[in-house]
Amino acid sequence: MIEVFTVFARIRAAEGKAEALASLLVEQAAVVRAAEPGCLVYRVHRSTRDPRLFVFYEQYADEAAFDAHRNSPHIAAFRARREREGLADGPADVEVCRALTQ
């Protein structure tokens, strides 16, 4: 059985906050990759059609690694900062998938 968890997420920057959100997301990605050995991939993308739209592609070795990510203090801090600074136009749209193939 394949244990890999993949996350697809979309978040839209608040009006006038796209560059600030981009900076925060780049910082967040670096921290996640450095602090979470169970994170296999953590990539943030920016739409070429809508510069306020950011899309994440994340993979975790297993459910425990994904749970560690979701409950980590650094992710809580990034979410709090995003809210405090009003960087997002609403919550992230997140889809978590379990891999069926290699």
The answer to whether 49 and 96 are in contact (CB under 8 A) is no
Range of the domain at 82: 5-98
Total tally of structural domains belonging to the chain: 1
The answer to whether 40 and 60 are in contact (CB under 8 A) is yes
Give the mean pLDDT of the chain.
95
Q: What is the pLDDT of residues 4-13, one digit of tens each?
A: 999 999 999 9
Predicted pLDDT of residue 1: 54
CATH number at residue 88: 3.30.70.100
**82 CB-contact burial (10 Å; exposed 0-12 / middle 13-18 / buried 19+):** buried
Predicted pLDDT of residue 100: 84
Q: What is the pLDDT of residues 51-91, one digit of tens each?
A: 999 999 999 999 999 999 999 999 999 999 999 999 999 99
Predicted pLDDT of residue 30: 97
Predicted pLDDT of residue 70: 95
